[in-house]
Amino acid sequence: GPQYRFSHDQIQKVAYSLTSQAEMNALHLSLGRAILQAASEAEIDAVIFLAVDQLDRGQDLVTDDNERLQIVRLNLRAGRKAISSAGFLPASVFLQEGIRSLRINDWESNYDLCLDIYSTCAETLFALANYDTVNTMANVIFAFGKCLYDKCRAYYTLVCMLHAQGKNKDAVVTSLNVLSQLGVSFPVEINGGVVEDSLLATMDALEGTTMDSIKRKEAMHERDKVIAMKFLNAISLFVHHWDRKISVLVTFRMVELSLEYGVCKESALGFAAFASFLCTRGDLKNGQQFANLAICLLQRFKAKECLPCVYSVVHGFVSQFHEPLQAGLVTHHSGYEVGMSCGDVMWAMMNAVQYISKSIQSGCKLDELVGQIRVYLQQMKEYNLHNVLLSARLRLQFVLN
């Protein structure tokens, strides 16, 4: 149909000034309703941002519960669409507007909707480093969530947030608590003997298997174990800063769960970390084989969201023994870009730090590198990533010297 717009923004401003806020809200609501009514189900995605924006501006005038809940669902849908194109800021606006339309009793009558929009909002706000509001969202989920499963998305976001804030001990303790409730426990006291025993158990589990047989293993289906792998995946990044012995046990546990219950997208990081462990013990040949296995699993599950962490481990701690340092520059830059687009800022910045290190070691032009490092530093400051910020600053100082 025909399209209309104001011929000048000042005309629009005057038109708005001559209209009361109540009238304007009613007009926005009417426009939102009209846009939705004119769109078929197949066309809604094309107009959803505009329609939901109009509805949100007039949502306080909505008195019908069914329409109110429909606006919540539309905000969730708009938020997800924005997230799919890395639009985390507009997504957070839609999601918080949807939450504003909810009532306390909706947690009883529309539990799944409440849980989904709160969990999605917490994840989106984490990607924006809005940590105070993440805590607020998570606490609501912990208060109204019916079971551990329903709270796991919020716990996972909380764990990632704690690490981003440099609170590694709190992140590990929270993760281990959730894991124990999922049936994956760790010894209270961990010494060298415990680590060696766990290594022997892992090697026994690998006995008789081949890389091809692991690649073809059926997918992991047991719900507890799939969620556990997600938490093990999360803490594998930062647990070694707190306790290296637990870090090794986390790696072994990921491998063992994958061998016993089937593989999942998180298995890729488990085998990548195991490859890195083998390289530290001088077993470079098997280390490279497990690194290749990790990449194959990444491709099998089309797990783009796992690419940053797998690339960081494989190309940061394994491939350097088998290929020139310059070869890792492309992969680490790819890991950085994918991580930023997926909202996995922590692993994105890990790849950025590794990119900086390899650029220095491979003899790149330092004056050009300084500019890149400053861009990374600014992003690390914006996202309050204390651990990687320190590492990047040290490398910048080295280059400047």
How would you write the pLDDT of the chain (401 residues) with one tens digit per residue?
Answer: 456 676 777 877 777 777 777 888 888 899 999 999 998 888 899 999 999 999 999 999 998 999 999 999 999 999 999 999 989 999 999 999 999 999 999 999 999 999 999 999 999 999 999 999 999 999 999 999 999 999 999 999 999 999 888 888 899 999 999 999 999 999 888 888 899 999 999 999 999 999 999 999 999 999 999 999 999 999 987 787 678 888 999 999 999 999 999 999 999 999 999 999 999 999 999 999 999 999 999 999 999 999 999 999 999 999 989 899 899 999 999 999 999 999 899 999 999 999 999 999 988 888 889 999 999 999 999 888 877 888 999 999 999 98
pTM of the model: 0.87
- For position 25, what pLDDT does the model report? 82
Give backbone dihedrals phi and psi of 384, rounded to 5 degrees, phi first.
Answer: 55, 45
Residue (of 111, 116, 83) closest to 98 by Cα position: 116
The vertex-395 CA angle with 344 and 355, nearest 5°, equals: 45
The vertex-265 CA angle with 267 and 253, nearest 5°, equals: 25
CA separation for the pair 348, 355 (Å, rounded): 10
- For position 303, what pLDDT does the model report? 96
**Residue 92 identity:** S
- For position 276, what pLDDT does the model report? 96
- For position 1, what pLDDT does the model report? 47
- For position 188, what pLDDT does the model report? 80
CA separation for the pair 190, 184 (Å, rounded): 15
- For position 245, what pLDDT does the model report? 87
CB count in 10 Å sphere of residue 87: 17
**Positive or negative CA dihedral for 155, 161, 164, 165?**
negative
Torsion of CA 291, 235, 135, 89, to 10 degrees: -10
